[in-house]
Amino acid sequence: MSPPIELVVVADDITGSLDTGVQFTRLETGVVVTVWPSFPSGDIPGIVVVDTESRHLSSDEARHRVEDVVHSACERGARLLYKKVDSTLRGNVGAELEGMLAASGRERLAFAPAYPRMGRTTIEGCQLVNGTPIDRTSFAVDLLNPLWTSSIPEIIAAQSRVAVAVRRPSQQAAEVDARIVVLDARSDEELRAAARELLPQRDHWVFAGSAGFADALCREMFQAPGFAGVTAADGHAARSGAGTGRRKALVVVGSMSPASLAQVNYAIESGVPAFPAPDLDSELPEDRAHRGRGDLLRSTGRAFALGDVIILRTTAAPRTGADNGDGLYRAMRFAERFGRLAREIAVQERPDAVVIFGGDTFIAMMRAFAIDALAPVEEILPGVPASLTVTSGAEWRPRMFVSKAGGFGPPDVLVRILEHLGIEPGRNRGPR
């Protein structure tokens, strides 16, 4: 019989899966990230992260996928259950929390979406980004997941019938009369305090929130009763091999968020050549589409001959039309085409690392390469994990992926990632 799993994390997209999974690389148990419906069997690591790819699904289908994963986790004796939720509350938040709680058999769920070191805080049950309520930020007009309120209980109640209440830092969670308890948090220390309080009661609780709360739980697991077998690894060791003089990196930017656009522009000004993808949302005749891809492959090949890195970027969001169902179809088709195009360039150039901005782009590229499992190994910067490919096969695949969700980070984040990989952007003499 296989040994029980220490922890199962359920996330709704790939970037969230990895930036949460990487928090637990401090432990000696090992971490693997898989994509639904895959759930590892046999001799597997002590920590499993499952990406249900449910952010853009209907609330019923999202709930079903979460329940499916949690049932598998409970069958394997998972000691701790964690539902990773986007820190800007995009996706099927209420439905997935309800599904997690129902399938787990636990009594209550502690929900802490704050991620203070990334500027996300929770105050009196409202979610803020850099001090501004999320419904007053660019996240409110997200193409596929618009937000109408910053009230976390209201967002949960829109998809769930489970009672929700807010616990202030001065309260004990057990004092709150609700099955889903929202935890206020203005700082990392408040997240640590919540983890310290609740971990000894883990048989009664499911945990949920951002990568920040996952980090707090990981740090407290060393001291919590019942975790004597959990030992620390050598910190976030650079086991990916990053920083050892890599020669090539392909940067794939599918996000059109203001943060990503600023990061791309900063990198271009620092000397990184960028190539726009052709119009992926149009229905070009096959001969013209093929000719456009050929021109791009030749151009990127010449750029790599002169330097170590290029950026492949989108220049426009997919046209969504009036109907949201049609909009979702177009957006997913857009991401799929972009992922296939990025794969063609990667296969031609065989970079040591692929850096990807945006979860939809990342999962499209994983599917193009038939990759269903990754191992996060280090956090290069906050929210920027490096992961190694676990899936094997006869065809060439990138060894390492570096991922970042589109909507956060300072303008120089891409340049800092490249420097960590051993690449000096200014030395790249390719066309701009």
> What tens digit of pLDDT does each residue of 144-177 get?
788 999 999 999 999 999 999 999 767 899 899 9
**45: three-class secondary structure by DSSP:** coil
Residue 58 clears pLDDT 80, i.e. is over it: yes
Q: Is the per-residue pLDDT at 62 higher than 90?
A: yes
Question: Assign residue 409 a region: left if phi > 0, alpha if psi is -120 to 50, beta otherwise?
Answer: left
Cβ atoms within 10 A of the Cβ of 305, count?
10
Task: Determine the 3-state secondary structure of 8 from DSSP.
Answer: strand
The Cα 98–Cα 111 span in angstroms is 12
Chain centroid to CA 73: 20
Distance CA 389, CA 97 (A): 29
Q: For residue 211, which amino acid is it?
A: A
**Mean per-residue pLDDT for 37-44?**
77
pTM for the model: 0.89
d(CA 194, CA 122): 13
Nearest to 385 by CA among 26, 28, 10, 129: 26
The one-letter code for the residue type at 310 is: I
Q: What is the mean pLDDT of the chain?
A: 87
Give which of 374, 371, 372, 432 is closest to 403, Cα–Cα.
374
- Ramachandran angles phi, psi of 371, nearest 5°: -100, 125
Give the SS3 label for residue 204.
coil
Residue 243 scores a pLDDT above 70: no
